[in-house]
Amino acid sequence: MPDLRTHDLLRLQTDVLKAVALDAGLAEVADLICRRAEAMAPGATCSVVLIDETARIRPLAGPSLPPAYCEAIDGLEIGPEVGSCGTAAHRGTEVIVTDIEHDPLWASFKELALGFGLRACWSSPIKDETGGVVATFAFYYGECRGPTTLERRIVETCIDLCAIAIRHHAVQTRISRLAYTDTMTQLPNRVAFEDFATAALVRGGVGTVGIHYIDLDDFKTVNDTLGHRVGDELLAAVAQRIAAAVPAGALVARLGGDEFAICCPAESMAAQESVAVAVLAAFRQPFAVGEHMLACGVSVGVAVATSAGGDLEVLSQRADTALYSAKAAGRNTYRFFSDEMADAVQRRSALRADLAQALAGGQFHLVYQPLVQMDTQAVTGFEALLRWTHPVHGAIPPDRFVPLAEEMGAIVEIGHWVLDHALADAATWPPSIGLSVNVSPIQLEDPGFAAAVTLALLRHGVRPSRLAVEVTETALFESGGTTRRTLDDLKALGVGIVLDDFGTGYSSLSLIRDRRFSKLKIDKSFVDGLGVDPDCNAIVRGTLGVARATGFRTTAEGIETAAQLAWLRDNGCDEGQGFLIARPMRPDAVADFLAARASGAVLRRA
């Protein structure tokens, strides 16, 4: 063998490091090292094999080895007698076998090697920074012999270069995994999802590509009541369920928060619907998270492209629109995008823009609906109700604009306006007449809300005992600690707290034990059934009995018939309101209404 010149090794180092710096693939770098090593060591056949996480051999490079040989050794588990490479990886030291035919290390594999003309093999381990074996570098010979001094110099350099390339590849793999993987759930993240979906839309050819947006129902409640650790564990469990529900070839990703997405290439719309159905089915059983069994609903919005070249941004917007429709439909369901949905979204967006200008434009006003004592029909107070008169569309129902105001974050400013104007009106009423104001869950989560109420009361000279705030059951169920502290502060101030829409929420009876409340308000849906539906009779009668036993006053809303009023009065309801008693009225009509009641123009007893 001719003398090896030092500059040959230096040139190899330079070329390999340049390839690594340019992010050449690991197999490409290993192939370069093997070819150059073989050029410097005539008669040697070079190979590099990786050792995977299951301690099995995975051929990486062997440009002069027969492909059939590489295929045969792929997947062999390393051990004390697994040829030269398997044994070197197992021992962590070099293994020199000068005669494969007669060496016991090759007893189980010699026929394979000899069949390809391989007579000797010298293998050295390649280690990572911790000393663990990650690969081996080997010279095979077509004759029985060991390495020369010059070959040792070559292999020493090649091992170092392989270690550098493997370490660089591992770092790049970790970086890529961080860039494309959600660390909490180990699912692909938004970047990976968009890359996959874009490629799927470009390819086409499978019939349809569906984008499924998935959002957990009431996930915030878990975080607020059980803490973020439990919430994070629930998200990880949810990720596993969704991933198990989708067919092969689909990608499941976590987009952020409690939002997940599926990109599913499938043959038909029916197949896309099957995916949505499977996702819902995956949530039927509760999730075991630590000591908790958590029921978790889910809403799914689906948009489908039926030809190649679809626009991912448009498809994503449509899936989001369909998701909103699913939530509006009662949650725990799925919806496919339709043109009608798009029209509804446009109308909603226009209304949202108009709502942003409504307060400054003076488009809001208050009306007041009286509450009366059921046995005497004496007026006890008024509930302030917000109305919006749109300059083009006229009266907009509260159930359309209040949720929008909450989404926009405008409800706090609007709520301050309502409180201030309602107290200004109440200041002109007789001091025995109370005022009820509805408050949003978002207002209650504002740490400054109780202070704002205090200042408004002082500004208008209204006693705190005349004011009551009405809070829905749903608001309390979904609330965090701030809401409860706000209610405690209001109660300490002397403001009454009314549990509104009683009976429609998650845990009505348990809320009766909460002594923050002074009054229960029976929902109109139960009042409508009085005297007609035996179940409604039983529910309302039971509610009134529990309220009396626990010291709560009761108000029935939505009384529209004399029969309803008589039933409520005879069964011990304290107060009532509804169209039968009086419709909501403008502020300037309150004085006349009170005067008329005082003069005897009262609702006759049924």
pLDDT tens digits for range 165-186: 999 999 888 888 888 899 899 9
> What is the tens place of the pLDDT at every residue in 55-100?
999 999 999 999 999 999 999 999 999 999 999 999 999 999 999 9
* Percentage of the residues of the chain whose pLDDT score is greater than 70: 93
Taking Cα atoms as reference points, which of 359, 372, 302, 266 lies closest to residue 593?
372
Residues 106 and 115: their CA atoms lie apart, in Å, by 13
User: How are beta strands 297-305 and 519-522 bridged, if at all?
Assistant: unpaired
**Is 467:437 a contact under the CB 8 Å cutoff?**
yes
**Residue 600 pLDDT > 50, yes or no?**
yes
Largest distance between two CA atoms of the chain: 125
pLDDT tens-digit readout, 215-260: 998 787 787 778 888 899 999 999 999 999 999 889 999 999 999 9
pTM above 0.95, yes or no: no
Tokens, residue 422 = 């309602």
Nearest to 213 by CA among 319, 335, 327: 319
Average pLDDT over residues 17-46: 94
Question: Which tokens is 345 given?
Answer: 């979204």
SS3 label, residue 188? strand
Nearest-angstrom CA–CA distance, 9 and 26: 20
The per-residue DSSP string of 139-179 comes to EEESSS----HHHHHHHHHHHHHHHHHHHHHHHHHHHHHHH
Give the per-residue pLDDT at 392: 87
Looking at the predicted structure, is the pLDDT value of residue 103 above 50? yes
What does residue 562 show for φ and ψ, rounded to 5 degrees? -65, -35
The pLDDT > 90 percentage for the chain reads 59
User: At 381, is the secondary structure helix, strand, or coil?
Assistant: strand
Closest CA to 457 of 411, 422, 498, 497: 422
Per-residue pLDDT tens over the stretch 343-398: 777 777 787 888 888 888 899 899 999 999 998 999 999 999 999 998 888 998 88
List the strands of the sheet with 251-256, edge to edge. 251-256, 259-266, 208-217, 297-305, 334-336
**pLDDT tens profile 532-579:** 888 888 888 988 888 888 888 999 999 999 999 999 999 999 999 999
Q: How many CA atoms lie within 13 A of 235 on its CB side?
A: 25
* Residue 507, pLDDT score: 42
| Maximum mean pLDDT: which of 2-6, 347-351, 459-463 | 459-463
Q: What is the DSSP string of 520-553?
A: EEE-HHHHTTTTT-HHHHHHHHHHHHHHHHHT-E
Contact 342, 322 (CB under 8 A): no
Q: Do domains 6-179 and 190-337 have the same CATH topology?
A: no
The mean of the pLDDT values for the chain is: 89
Cα(327)–Cα(220) distance, integer angstroms? 15
Q: Give the model's pLDDT for residue 474.
A: 64
Of 508, 514, 497, nearest in space to 543 by CA: 508
How confident is the model at residue 472, as a pLDDT? 82
Distances (CA, A) of 263 to 26, 180, 201, 210, 251: 30, 15, 10, 6, 5
Residue 58 has a pLDDT of 97
pLDDT band, very low/low/confident/very high, at 506 (cuts 50, 70, 90):
very low
Query: Model confidence at 514, in pLDDT bands (50, 70, 90)?
Result: low
State yes or no: pLDDT of 277 exceeds 60: yes
**Does 511 score more than 60 pLDDT?**
no
Count the alpha carbons within 13 Å of 169 in the hemisphere toward its beta carbon: 19
Distances (CA, A) of 171 to 130, 164, 174, 178, 293: 14, 11, 5, 11, 39
> One-letter amino acid identity for 206?
V
Question: Which top CATH class is 6-179?
Answer: alpha beta
What value does the mean pLDDT take over residues 459-486? 82
Q: Higher-confidence residue: 552 or 135?
A: 135
Q: Which residues contact 116 (CB under 8 A, 6 or more apart)?
A: 65, 66, 68, 69
Sequence ranges of the domains in the chain: 6-179, 190-337, 367-598
- pLDDT for 355: 86
pLDDT value for 603:
46
Residue 308's pLDDT is what? 62
From edge to edge, which strands make up the β-sheet containing 95-97?
Answer: 57-61, 44-51, 133-141, 120-127, 95-97
Token look-up 């016991």 returns 104
**Dihedral over Cα of 320, 321, 322, 324: its sign:** positive
Q: Distance of alpha carbon 455 from its chain centroid, rounded?
A: 39
Main-chain dihedrals φ then ψ at residue 435, nearest 5 degrees: -135, 130
CATH, range 190-337:
3.30.70.270
Query: Across residues 278-285, what is the average pLDDT?
Result: 92
Fold of 367-598: TIM Barrel (3.20.20)
Q: Tokens 């008669």 belong to which residue?
A: 43
Q: Rounded CA gap, 53 and 383, in Å?
A: 69
Give the number of other CB atoms < 10 A from CB of residue 177.
12
Check residues 268 and 513 and name the one with the higher pLDDT. Answer: 268
